[in-house]
């Protein structure tokens, strides 16, 4: 039976380094009890006698199912509908009217939005609902949601949430965009058809996109990365935004505007003004 004494300092350091190297998660020394709480049942299922055995197995196949399970169990998927609502108001009041004018002038036909680190999908659906309120733009916008956790992505794809989670939606959205099911409420097909969910690791060297985005949300995840990794992720995010597009981070997060060719708009919102090399044309 795996107990607390099975986690030696050396084993903890190995697992912490694996998480840091593979997915950018920083697991400080104070997180040993968290690791024990979240991995105990996994160790019993695997029949392993030490966390060193788990580290050995993951090192032998860092892209395999055990690594995925480790990430799923240790990722923090804390999110909710209408989190940092001012960002959605900016989309509704500033971006959507501007995009509409571009379409009327024949300058653009479609717009792409990326909800990076989307967790269980609330942010992604929030974006889609905001767009769906503007019926003339609904068919011109597509939203991609990505997250490192395969478990979170599967829940996002199901689009089913508890009554407590849905209580944060406005009554009008709850009526139009959610239908009742036994476990709570399910996002209606009209909204789910606007979004696509995929698993993705943000710390990869380059993101695998053919086209850039007009708007990227990457909120409340950069704070978990060390400084060097955070800078690399921000650079890759900026490379993924169309010149003149926008990057949205969490209210408590800041980025180096001069380094990445950004101008400040309001808390957490930056406009991409610089021209980074390596962009792919739309």
Average pLDDT of the residues in 8-14: 90
206 has a pLDDT exceeding 80: no
Joined together, the tokens standing for residue 13 give 């350091």
**Residue 114 contacts residue 146 (beta carbons within 8 Å):** yes
Cα–Cα distance for residue pair 282/280, rounded to 1 Å: 6
Is residue 222 in some structural domain?
A: yes
User: What pLDDT is recorded for position 141?
Assistant: 93
Is residue 280 in some structural domain?
A: no
Is residue 277 in some structural domain?
A: no
Q: Are residues 53 and 175 in the same domain?
A: no
Cα–Cα distance for residue pair 190/212, rounded to 1 Å: 25
CATH number of the domain to which 246 belongs = 3.40.50.150
Cα–Cα distance for residue pair 228/44, rounded to 1 Å: 36
Q: Are residues 97 and 202 in the same domain?
A: yes
Domain count along the chain: 2
Q: Using alpha carbons, select from 246, 237, 238, 229 the residue that is nearest to residue 275.
A: 238
Is residue 155 in some structural domain?
A: yes
Q: Are residues 37 and 107 in the same domain?
A: no
* Tens digits of residue pLDDT in 216-253: 999 998 888 888 889 999 999 999 999 999 999 999 89
Write out the residue range of the structural domain in which residue 240 sits.
86-272
Q: Are residues 50 and 155 in the same domain?
A: no
Q: Are residues 54 and 152 in the same domain?
A: no
Is residue 19 in some structural domain?
A: yes
User: What pLDDT is recorded for position 81?
Assistant: 93
Joined together, the tokens standing for residue 94 give 């500033």
Q: Are residues 198 and 232 in the same domain?
A: yes
User: What pLDDT is recorded for position 77?
Assistant: 64
Report the 3 state secondary structure along 110-122: CEEEEEECCCCCH
3 has a pLDDT exceeding 70: no
Q: Are residues 156 and 23 in the same domain?
A: no
CB environment 178-207: b (16+ within 10 A), e (fewer): beeeeeebbbeeebbebbebeebebbeeeb
Q: Which long-range contacts (CB under 8 A, 24 or more apart) does 52-58 make?
A: 52/8, 52/10, 52/11, 52/14, 54/11, 54/15, 55/11, 55/14, 55/15, 55/18, 58/15, 58/18
Average pLDDT of the residues in 30-55: 86
* Tens digits of residue pLDDT in 132-150: 999 889 889 999 999 988 8
Joined together, the tokens standing for residue 197 give 């969910």
Cα–Cα distance for residue pair 51/244, rounded to 1 Å: 48
Q: Are residues 163 and 267 in the same domain?
A: yes
pLDDT band at 63 (very low <50, low <70, confident <90, very high): confident
Q: Are residues 120 and 25 in the same domain?
A: no
Q: Are residues 152 and 120 in the same domain?
A: yes
- On whether the pTM is more than 0.95, the answer is no
Q: Are residues 58 and 133 in the same domain?
A: no
């Amino acid at each position: 039976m795996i107990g607390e004494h099975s986690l030696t300092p050396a084993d903890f350091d190995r697992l912490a380094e694996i998480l840091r190297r593979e997915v950018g998660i920083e697991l400080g020394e104070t997180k040993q009890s968290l690791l024990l709480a979240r991995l105990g049942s996994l160790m019993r299922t695997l029949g392993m006698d030490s966390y060193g055995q788990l580290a050995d197995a993951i090192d032998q196949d860092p892209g395999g199912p055990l690594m995925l399970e480790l990430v799923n169990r240790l990722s923090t998927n804390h999110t909710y509908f209408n989190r940092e609502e001012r960002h959605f108001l900016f989309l509704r009041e500033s971006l959507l009217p501007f995009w509409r004018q571009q379409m009327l002038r024949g300058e653009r036909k479609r717009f792409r939005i990326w909800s990076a680190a989307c967790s269980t999908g609330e942010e992604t659906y929030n974006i889609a609902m905001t767009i769906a309120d503007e019926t003339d733009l609904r068919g011109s916008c597509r939203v991609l949601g990505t997250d490192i956790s395969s478990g979170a992505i599967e829940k996002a794809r199901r689009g089913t949430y508890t009554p407590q989670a849905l209580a944060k939606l406005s009554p009008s959205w709850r009526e139009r965009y959610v239908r009742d099911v036994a476990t709570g409420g399910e996002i209606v097909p009209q909204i789910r058809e606007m979004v696509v969910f995929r698993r993705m690791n943000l710390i990869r060297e380059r993101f695998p996109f053919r086209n850039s985005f007009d708007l990227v949300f990457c909120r409340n995840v950069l704070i978990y990365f060390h400084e060097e990794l955070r800078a690399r992720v921000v650079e890759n995010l900026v490379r993924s935004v169309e010149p003149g597009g926008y990057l949205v981070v969490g209210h408590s997060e800041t980025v180096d505007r001069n380094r990445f060719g950004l101008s400040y708009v309001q808390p957490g919102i930056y406009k991409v003004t610089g021209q980074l090399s390596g962009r792919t044309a739309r």
